[in-house]
Amino acid sequence: MPLDAITLDHLTDVQKAHLAGYLDGEGTFGLYADKGAYQAFCKVETAAGQYLRQIGHAYGVKVCRCSKSERHHKQTYAIKFMGKALYQLLHDVLPYLQEKRPQAVQLLRYLSFRKGRGKGKRMSVFDASVAKRMSDRLKLLKTL
């Protein structure tokens, strides 16, 4: 179901459910360590570039063209949600996620925990230990 270049305010429940199903199958949810801080993300890489561009337009996120490892491989595209776009995406699709719902809940907890702590500031030892535990829990959830 194409998003037809609509804005985020106009995503229907059916479109959100479709997007959730797409993320269940193609998406990756996670936390990665970057210079003493953890960054939450959702990434999708697929050959369906037009669909990703429509999603990117709705959430204000850029779509990148990936380099092909072999000439005979299909061209793929990637989109990575972080920060406010990730927070909005998770709120939109959480009611409809099935397989990746535990990871999405964990990321929302992390984003709520980090909210208001200041962008770009180094994490305290306590914050880093909490983030590390959340990251470990996400890794565990991916193995289930």
Q: Write the pLDDT tens digit of every residue in 10-57.
A: 788 999 999 999 999 999 998 887 776 778 899 999 998 899 999 999
Question: Tokens 């959702």 belong to which residue?
Answer: 42
Helices (H), 83-124: 83-93, 101-114
Instruction: Report the CATH fold assignment for 8-143.
Output: Endonuclease I-creI (3.10.28)
Average pLDDT of 130-141? Answer: 73
Distance from C-alpha of 88 to C-alpha of 91, rounded to nearest angstrom: 5
Q: Write the pLDDT tens digit of every residue in 101-114.
A: 999 998 888 888 77
Letter string b/e over residues 10-48, b meaning 16 or more CB atoms within 10 A of that residue's CB: ebeeebbbbbbbbbbeebebbbeeeeebbbbebebebee
pTM above 0.95, yes or no: no
Q: What is the DSSP letter of 96?
A: G
The pLDDT score that the predictor gives to residue 1 is 45
